Amino acid sequence: MRCMSQVSSFTNSRRVVAIMTDFGLGESDVGVMKAVIVGLAPDVHIIDITHDVPPQNVPSGAWILSYGYRYYPKDTVFVCVVDPGVGSTRNAIAVHAGDWYFVGPDNGLFSYIYAEQAVHAAVVLTNPAYHLPQVSSTFHGRDIFAPVGAHLARGVSLHELGTPADPATLQRIDVGPPQRQGSHIDAHILHIDTFGNLISSIPLSIVP
């Protein structure tokens, strides 16, 4: 039986890369991303957060990520792809916030992270040395986010990955505050879970 000190030593010796996408598991995309990561950082431990974010639903992905990221070890690299703007002018970013690193599109996917954690540094991923040699216009998860996540897990400095970004300029989801009118509250549904529960933007403080 492994004692707790041995467990801690094992955990701390391997960096974690946690992946979240809206790809599903019916195609090869998730496996290809993992292959890229392991090819560059063979000692990392990969955890699948989920690959069932509703397609292109950034608010849902943001909520799913926010629900569990705190339980991951310090210095975990989160590689997150819910990216309806892939191929457009939206930026690809890496962010050091709290005790963790987040890699993905600058489209609000990390909104709750910014709200809950201090953002120590952020970069736009402009350094092609840390991308795959050929970058497609539609699969940045494979060509940019996976290799960048692997390099971060190997210990590459965030600042080597690209151009510094002002954290205040990073995209955030703007659902607006809930509005109460008598016994009615107008708000937004952020996520519908597997059991059909509706996750809303209503804080407990205004619930009757």
Q: Which residues contact 151 (CB under 8 A, 6 or more apart)?
A: 40, 41, 130, 161
Q: What pLDDT, on a 0 to 100 scale, did the predictor assign at position 174? A: 82
Set out the domains of the chain in order of their start, with CATH numbers.
13-169 (3.40.50.10790), 177-208 (no CATH)
Give pLDDT tens digits for 21-79: 999 999 999 999 999 999 999 999 999 999 999 999 999 999 999 999 999 999 999 99
4-8, 11-15, 70-74: range with lowest mean pLDDT: 4-8
Q: What pLDDT, on a 0 to 100 scale, did the predictor assign at position 180? A: 77
Is the pLDDT assigned to residue 1 strictly greater than 70?
no
Give pLDDT tens digits for 141-183: 999 999 999 999 999 999 999 999 999 999 999 876 777 777 7
Counting residues of the chain whose pLDDT is more than 90, the rounded percentage is 75
